Amino acid sequence: MLEATPLTEDWILKHEGDRLPATVPGCVHTDLLAAGVIPDPFLGQGETEVAWVGRREWTYERDLAATNGHEQTDLVFDGLDTVAEVLLDGRPLGRTRNMHRSYRFDVTGLGGRLSVRFASAYAETEAVRGQLGERPAAYAEPYQYIRKMACSFGWDWGPTLVTAGIWRPVRLERWSTARIARVRPLVTVEDGLGRVEVRVDVERSRVEAELALEATVGGVRARAEIDGTTGTVRIEVPDVRLWWPRGYGEQPLYDVELTLLHEDRPLDVWRRRIGFRTVELDRRPDPHGTGFTLVVNGERLFARGVNWIPDDVFPSRIGRDRYRERLRQAADAGVDLVRVWGGGIYESEDFYDACDELGLLVWQDFPFACAAYPEEQPLRGEVEAEARENVVRLMPHPSLVLWNGNNENLWGFRDWGWEERLAGDSWGEGYYLGVLPRVVAELDPTRPYAAGSPWSGSWEHHPNDPAHGTHHSWEVWNREDYADYRANVPRFVAEFGWQAPPAYATLRRALPGEELAPDSPGMLHHQKADDGNGKLERGLARHFALPEGDFDRWHYLTQINQARAVAAGIEHWRSHWPVCAGTVVWQLNDCWPVTSWAAIDGDGREKPLYHELRRLYADRLLTLQARERGLVSAAVNQSAQAWSGTLTLRRMSVEGLVIGTASVSFTAGARSVADFGVPRELEPVGPKEFLVADAWGSPRSSDAETGEALRALHFPAVDREIPYPRPQFDVALVPGGIEVTARTLVRDLLLQADRLDPAAWADRGRLTLLPGERVTIGVRGWKARDGRDAAAAREALYCMEPHR
Ligand code: BMA
Q: Which domain holds residue 579?
A: 283-616
Chain segment 735-784, per-residue pLDDT in tens: 999 999 999 999 999 999 999 999 999 999 999 999 999 999 999 999 88
First to last CA, the chain: 77
For the purposes of burial, counting CB atoms within 10 Å of the CB of 271, is it exposed (0-12), middle (13-18) or buried (19 or more)? Answer: exposed
Task: Flag whether 267 is in a domain.
Answer: yes
As a whole number of angstroms, the distance between CA 701 and CA 696 comes to 6
As a whole number of angstroms, the distance between CA 480 and CA 474 comes to 9
CA-closest candidate to residue 650, choices 696, 614, 682:
682
CB of residue 590 inside a 6 A radius of ligand 1: no
Same-domain check for residues 576 and 676: no
Same-domain check for residues 633 and 583: no
CATH number for the domain including 663? 2.60.40.10
**How large is the C-alpha radius of gyration of the chain?**
28
Same-domain check for residues 293 and 237: no
Ligand 1, atom 8, lies closest to the CA of: 407
Please list the active-site residues.
408
- The DSSP line for 692-743 is EEEEEEETT-S-TTT-PPEEEEE-SS-GGGS-PPPP-EEEEEETTEEEEEES
As a whole number of angstroms, the distance between CA 586 and CA 495 comes to 5
pLDDT at site 708: 64
As a whole number of angstroms, the distance between CA 693 and CA 674 comes to 14
- Number of structural domains found in the chain: 5
As a whole number of angstroms, the distance between CA 718 and CA 713 comes to 13
Phi, psi of 413 (to 5 degrees): -60, -45
Chain segment 62-71, per-residue pLDDT in tens: 999 998 899 9
As a whole number of angstroms, the distance between CA 804 and CA 553 comes to 12
The b/e string for 747-765 (b: 16+ C-beta within 10 A; e otherwise) is bbbbbbbbbbebebbbbbb
Residue 540: CB partners within 8 Å, gap ≥ 6? 546, 554, 557, 558, 561
Task: Flag whether 803 is in a domain.
Answer: no
Minimum-distance ligand 1 atom for the alpha carbon of 343: 9
Amino acid in the structure at residue 324: R
pLDDT at site 179: 98
pLDDT at site 702: 41
As a whole number of angstroms, the distance between CA 297 and CA 671 comes to 15
Element (H, E) at 125: helix 121-132
CB atoms within 10 A of CB 161: 24
Ligand 1, atom 10, lies closest to the CA of: 156
- 691 in Cβ contact with 662 (< 8 Å): no
Give whole-number Cα distances, 110 to 5, 106, 427, 693, 803, in Å.
15, 9, 43, 75, 76
- The DSSP line for 621-632 is EEEEEEETTEEE
Q: State in Å: Cα 28 to ligand 1 middle.
A: 27
CA-closest candidate to residue 651, choices 692, 688, 622:
692
Q: State in Å: Cα 155 to ligand 1 middle.
A: 8
- 326 in Cβ contact with 589 (< 8 Å): yes
Same-domain check for residues 374 and 289: yes
Minimum-distance ligand 1 atom for the alpha carbon of 370: 9
Cα 213 versus chain centre, distance: 37
Q: State in Å: Cα 365 to ligand 1 middle.
A: 14
Residues in the chain: 804
Tell me whether strands 212-217 and 254-262 are parallel, antiparallel or unpaired: antiparallel
pLDDT at site 703: 42
Tell me whether strands 72-77 and 103-106 are parallel, antiparallel or unpaired: antiparallel
**Omega within 30 of 0 (cis) for the link into 25:** yes
Same-domain check for residues 428 and 500: yes
Task: Flag whether 451 is in a domain.
Answer: yes
CB atoms within 10 A of CB 287: 5
Same-domain check for residues 649 and 612: no
Question: What residues does 296 pair with on adjacent strands?
Answer: 279, 299
Sites in the chain below the pLDDT cut of 50: 700-707
Same-domain check for residues 624 and 609: no
As a whole number of angstroms, the distance between CA 409 and CA 450 comes to 13
Same-domain check for residues 166 and 263: no
CB atoms within 10 A of CB 514: 15
- 643 in Cβ contact with 668 (< 8 Å): yes
Minimum-distance ligand 1 atom for the alpha carbon of 156: 10
Same-domain check for residues 689 and 737: no
Of 132, 155, 173, which residue constitutes the final position of a domain? Answer: 173
Same-domain check for residues 417 and 510: yes
pLDDT at site 706: 42
pLDDT at site 699: 52
- The DSSP line for 257-312 is EEEEEETTEEEEEEEEEE-B--EEEE--EETTEE--EEEETTEEE-EEEEEE--SS
Same-domain check for residues 380 and 510: yes
The b/e string for 778-797 (b: 16+ C-beta within 10 A; e otherwise) is bbeebebeeeeebebbeebb
pLDDT at site 698: 59
CB atoms within 10 A of CB 15: 18
pLDDT at site 787: 77
CB atoms within 10 A of CB 135: 20
Phi-psi group of 223: left, alpha or beta (phi > 0 → left; psi -120 to 50 → alpha; rest → beta): beta
Residue 341 per-residue DSSP state: -
Task: Flag whether 516 is in a domain.
Answer: yes
To test ligand 1's pocket by mutation, which of 149, 155, 309, 370 has the most ligand atoms within 8 angstroms of CB? 370
Same-domain check for residues 454 and 554: yes
As a whole number of angstroms, the distance between CA 58 and CA 627 comes to 60
Task: Flag whether 765 is in a domain.
Answer: yes
Chain segment 488-543, per-residue pLDDT in tens: 999 999 999 999 999 999 999 999 999 999 999 999 999 999 999 999 999 999 99
CB of residue 408 inside a 6 A radius of ligand 1: yes
As a whole number of angstroms, the distance between CA 722 and CA 803 comes to 9
Q: State in Å: Cα 397 to ligand 1 middle.
A: 27
- 775 in Cβ contact with 740 (< 8 Å): yes
CB of residue 365 inside a 6 A radius of ligand 1: no
Of 616, 632, 662, which residue constitutes the final position of a domain? Answer: 616
pLDDT at site 803: 81
